[in-house]
Amino acid sequence: MPRTISALLLLLAFAVPALAAGPLPKPAANVKCQVCGMFVAKYPDFLARIAFRDGAVAWFDGPKDLFRFYNNMAAYDRRHQKKDVAEVTVTNYYSLAAIDGKKALYVLGTDVFGPMGKELVPCSSRAEANDLMKDHKGTRILRFTEVTPALLKGLE
């Protein structure tokens, strides 16, 4: 039992810095967004990524395209389904650090534009999201599961 606890502690000790660490690794210059086809390396401030259980990775030039892909995976990727998704990573607006996309909050309706125009701007905490709402005229704060295809239509 103590062994399990120490193993867990060790895991936590390594896992926490890993999550709080810097930006997503820079993708190669020829990597394209799976949805719009733009080269993603040029836009590090909105970079987003889905990693699959089989080791495959899909890159996106912003959370908006990531959600389009995630909510309609059959249209973009025949080999994978929602259940194959291991990890969703987005870029925090303020720190540009890589954060867990499923835990992130997304601010809608801001005057911050991504490479593809209107964006769902990712934040790590409620306080950050509230500040972003206030400073950039946001309209709503959404959780990962609250982003629907209908809502994405409104961002075109």
Cα torsion at 61, 64, 70, 72 (round to 10°)? -110
Q: Residue 146 is encoded by which pair of tokens?
A: 């609250």
3 state SS of 113: strand
Cβ pair 56, 79 in contact under 8 A: yes
**Is 93 near other proteins (CB under 8 A)?**
yes
Taking the least distance from each CB to other proteins, the nearer of 45 and 87 is 45
Q: Which stretch binds other proteins (CB under 8 A): 7-15, 51-59, 63-71, 130-138?
A: 130-138
Taking the least distance from each CB to other proteins, the nearer of 25 and 37 is 25
Which alpha helices (DSSP H) does 21-125 contain, by range? 63-71, 73-76
Residues 66 and 77: their CA atoms lie apart, in Å, by: 12
**Is 125 near other proteins (CB under 8 A)?**
no
Q: Which stretch binds other proteins (CB under 8 A): 52-60, 87-95, 101-109, 146-154?
A: 87-95
- Exactly one of 10, 94, 126, 146 binds other proteins (CB under 8 A); which one? 94
**Is 119 near other proteins (CB under 8 A)?**
no
**Is 146 near other proteins (CB under 8 A)?**
no
